[in-house]
Amino acid sequence: MEYAPAKFHKSARKLAPAGETFTYSPENQRRFDEIVTRYPPDQRKSAILYALYLAQNQNGGHLTAAAMDHVAEQIRCTSAEVEDVVSYYTMFFTKPVGKYVLNVCRTLSCALLGAERVTEELCAKLGIKPGETDASGTFTLLEVECLGACDRAPVVMVNDDWHERLSPEQAGKFIDDIRAGGAAAFTGCHLHKEKK
Ligand code: FES
């Protein structure tokens, strides 16, 4: 009897669309090549988070399969290993997100100090629920676990900038400020400012 290969896959997991061909820009390639020298040559994979950030930022805020393949080539591992990392961390996206991603911490310290009310204010202001992007494509709202600044709760991380001790009113005003001035409205973390 002639052998017929199976026509099913064990896993129902769907691979992300490949997207357009992706390679680092010359500037990002230079940055990656410099960062990777900080790791022992046999632990090149340790640079994966930085490599993914570069790719995600270059690609407008999310990672395509082509971008993950490129990262795999750069750090010399398999694409599956890169996908494992991407699917584990909440700060990597495989679908388009807003220009500003609002990550509201919902873990204990922030919850006790009013994170839920901050989220409610942001939902009302943007007309969306957590996990959604507003109609203009500018803001994506997420609830995330501890951001590591519990003593300055409640905390909202916007892209990679920190906003701490935020009241709901301040959170609402912050949206107005970003709409008016973009990233110039970012304030940075208190710890950094207090050291100045
Ligand atoms: S509980 Fe929110 S930063 Fe730790």
* Residue pLDDT, tens place only, 46-88: 999 999 999 999 999 999 999 999 999 999 999 999 999 999 9
Find the 1 Cα to ligand 1 centroid distance in Å.
63
How far is the centre of ligand 1, averaged over its atoms, from the C-alpha of 188 (Å)?
A: 16
> Per-domain residue ranges for the chain?
26-88, 100-195
CA of 151 to the centre of ligand 1 (A): 8
C-alpha distance from residue 164 to each of 100, 147, 151 (Å): 17, 11, 9
Ligand 1 centroid to Cα of residue 173, in Å, is: 22
What confidence score (pLDDT) does residue 18 get?
A: 72
Question: Is the peptide bond preceding residue 154 cis, with omega within 30 degrees of 0?
Answer: yes
- Hey, which CATH number is domain 26-88, 2.30.42, 2.30.29, 1.10.10, 1.25.40? 1.10.10
CATH superfamily assigned to domain 100-195: Glutaredoxin (3.40.30.10)
Q: Which pLDDT score, from 0 to 100, does residue 187 have?
A: 76
Instruction: Count CB atoms within 10 A of the CB of residue 61.
Output: 17
Substitution site in 104, 107, 144 for ligand 1 pocket (most atoms within 8 Å of beta carbon): 107
Terminus-to-terminus CA distance in the chain, angstroms? 78
CB 155 near ligand 1, within 6 Å: yes
C-alpha 134 to ligand 1 mean position (Å): 25
Average pLDDT value for the chain: 89
Whether the CB of 105 sits within 6 Å of ligand 1: yes
Tens digits of residue pLDDT in 123-153: 999 999 999 999 999 999 999 999 999 999 9
Domains 26-88 and 100-195 share a fold: no
Determine contact, residues 50/43, Cβ cutoff 8 Å: no
Query: Which segments of the chain are extended strands (E)?
Result: 100-105, 139-144, 156-158, 161-163
Rounded CA separation 154/112 (Å):
8
